[in-house]
Structure 1
Amino acid sequence: MFAVVRTGGKQYRVAAGDKIVIDRIEGEAGASVTLGDVLLAGEGSELRSAAGLTVAAEIIAQAKGEKVIVFKKRRRHNYRRRNGHRQLHTILKIVSVGGQSQQQSGDTVPAAQA
């Protein structure tokens, strides 16, 4: 089963056992997190309703990306600026896809209405 989740303004297609690199989220290595913003879910070519689905993941590491050089120059004005930037990343391992959220599983229909 796969799911498309949104985190950090980006969308990722994940399945159980996948490792993904996302923008930094809080947590120590070994901690478990749930990604609740599931946009799409399915198995094979069949799609399911993503309402109430969550994706469970485990934080493998907090890391930094490669350095990106930002160079600004204005010609003929003796203006040069050189900066570097390293983005903070979190590496996640997807544990399970498609677990029902606790809000959905807590809603039950009373026996009198059924």
Structure 2
Amino acid sequence: MIYAIVDFQGKQFKLIENKYVYVPRFSSMSLGEKMLLDRVIFFYKNGFLKIGTPLLENVKVEVEILQHLKGDKIIIFKKKRRKGYKVKNGFRPFFTKIKVISFLEKKSIKNGS
């Protein structure tokens, strides 16, 4: 099993190869476009793990944008007791559905003494 934890727009997501993830919408990308996520915090592959301090520089995640959509409605209800104050609001957050295509690892060159 191979997976990575990536920082995306201030939120952390666990990305597994060939799986779908819903992330906050970024409208600058069009459907079917591929992009590289380089803010990798943690990477696990076949029992070996790498932890960034704070980020890993040799690991990138290639993802494909599949769909832009809206999430389920979230209701916000405010009330102050005995005052007759009630306000009901709601909104639907925007999401982007992405698919993880592959993990790109660059071999780090270590200088021996």
**TM-score, length-scaled by structure 1:** 0.79
Structure number with greater Rg is 1
Give the TM-score taking structure 2 as reference length: 0.80
Per residue, is there more helix in 1 or in 2? 1
- Note the alpha carbon deviations across 1:57-101, whole angstroms, 9 max, x for none: 00010011100110111112111111001111010000111244x
State whether residues 15 and 97 of structure 1, in contact with CA within 8 Å, keep that contact through their aligned partners in structure 2.
no
The structure with the largest strand share of the pair is: 2
- Aligned partner letter, 2:3: F
Alignment pair present for 1:30 and 2:35: no
Alpha-carbon displacement from aligned partner over 1:2-51 (angstroms, at most 9, x marks no partner):
21111122212212211101111121211112111001112132113632
For the aligned residues, what is the CA RMSD? 2.0
Q: Give runs of ≥4 in structure 1 deviating > 4 Å.
A: none
Of 45, 48, 66, which aligns to 1:46?
48
Q: Where do 5+ consecutive residues of structure 1 fail to align?
A: 106-114
State the percentage of identical aligned residues.
29
